[in-house]
Amino acid sequence: MLSRSAQSMYWMGRYLERTEFLCRLIRLQMEALLDRPPRDIHAGWRRLYATLGRTPPGGGLGPVQGEDFTLADSFTLAGDLTFERQNLDSIWNCFANCRENARQMRHHISTEMWRTLNLAYLRIRTLEIQDIWATAPEDFYAGMVAEIGNFAGAAETTMYRDEGWRFLQLGRCIERAQLVSSLLVQQLAMDSEAGEFAELDWTSLLRAYQAAEVYHRSYGIAVHPAPVLDLMVADPLLPGSLSRCFNIIGEHLAALGTGPGQASGAEAQRVASALTHLPESRWPDEVTGRSGLLARAAAQCRELHFLVNGAYFDY
């Protein structure tokens, strides 16, 4: 496979995963506007921006000031993360970039995949935040998640299992692992700053990754940080867990080999192997000891991205 084709498939996966990540968390923020106190809504925005490493519009999120300010802030922040063309991490930009990579790679993806992606893009390409805010903005984000699910289903059932498939899945899993580990680090940092944990914050993480039902079956109704981390990090059966992401990354890198940039490829496989064994061999029992480990995992995911780039694209 040509390196530029492999790179486009890889970035298609990354952009798609980032779009879904943002849609899931912003949907929770929109639902919280209906019945959650300003403190919870404010904390959700802080967590999201810190995870992305992005400064909110206006330079930062000030102290909680009341429901009217919270609603106005949410309108501005949702617009920045959803439709702001100057924000390279916005949903609109991520999805447009995913669609552009797919357009260039139409000979590597199925007709069903392209049709699903293109129809979704045509639906959102002219939208602005005021277009969805007047009715039920959470429906827009739920619809985007559903359309990404349709694309993933089309890819699963129609795409030929060649190198293009592996680079697409590799991009999605590296992006997911990096975002989830960073998100958990930020939640732990907020708990440490407050001196206590907020159960609703951890519940929202479970809901974002469809893990709430599994959690309640395994651990009961009460939500505590330690079992949430056990589930979202170390459970290989949860589709969005870090453990499962690391296993899939290792599987695809092993199948792709070291690539033309052999030194980077060999190092990428070593890092992937270390990440695979992280939840099994070095997962502390105490919650306080897990933040540093998750921060190192996020850093290793970023390193893995550059190693993949050096092994297969810019060797």
pLDDT digits (tens, 9 = 90+) for 110-163: 999 999 999 999 999 999 999 999 888 999 999 999 999 999 999 999 999 999
Question: 136: left (phi > 0), else alpha (psi -120 to 50), else beta?
Answer: beta
What is the per-residue pLDDT across 178-187, written as a single tens digit (0 to 9) for each?
999 999 999 9
Q: Are residues 32 and 113 in the same domain?
A: yes
Q: Are residues 50 and 102 in the same domain?
A: yes
pLDDT at 285: 64
Residue that terminates a domain, selected from 137, 160, 183: 160
R_g over Cα of the chain? 19
Q: Are residues 23 and 152 in the same domain?
A: yes
CB-based contacts of 204: which residues, under 8 Å, 6+ apart?
28, 32, 44
d(CA 126, CA 110): 26
d(CA 231, CA 241): 7
Question: Is the pTM for the entire model greater than 0.85?
Answer: yes
Residue 255 tokens read as 């199948």
Q: Are residues 302 and 240 in the same domain?
A: yes
Residue 91 tokens read as 């949903």
Q: Are residues 152 and 274 in the same domain?
A: no
pLDDT at 293: 87
Residue that terminates a domain, selected from 90, 125, 160: 160
d(CA 195, CA 142): 33
Amino acid letter, residue 278 = L
E strands along the chain, which residues?
none
Tell me the angle at which helices 242-256 and 290-308 cross, rounded to the nearest 10 degrees.
20
Contact (Cβ atoms closer than 8 angstroms) between residue 76 and residue 49: no
d(CA 140, CA 147): 11
d(CA 177, CA 195): 27
Q: Are residues 248 and 260 in the same domain?
A: yes
d(CA 293, CA 282): 8
pLDDT at 123: 95
pLDDT at 39: 83
d(CA 25, CA 215): 19
pLDDT at 67: 60
pLDDT at 1: 86
Q: Are residues 190 and 219 in the same domain?
A: yes
Distances in whole angstroms, Cα of residue 125 to Cα of each of 94, 116, 163, 272? 12, 14, 30, 37
Q: Are residues 115 and 251 in the same domain?
A: no
Q: Which domain holds residue 21?
A: 1-160
Tell how many helices (H) and how many strands (E) occur in the chain.
14, 0
Tally of domains within the chain: 2
d(CA 293, CA 283): 8
Q: Are residues 250 and 287 in the same domain?
A: yes
pLDDT at 63: 58
Ranges of residues in the chain with a pLDDT under 50 are none
Q: Are residues 2 and 34 in the same domain?
A: yes
Contact (Cβ atoms closer than 8 angstroms) between residue 241 and residue 260: no
Q: Are residues 117 and 29 in the same domain?
A: yes
Residue that terminates a domain, selected from 108, 134, 160: 160
Q: Are residues 114 and 8 in the same domain?
A: yes
Q: Which residues of 83-98 are buried (b: 16+ CB within 10 A; e: fewer)?
A: bbeebebbbbbbbbbb
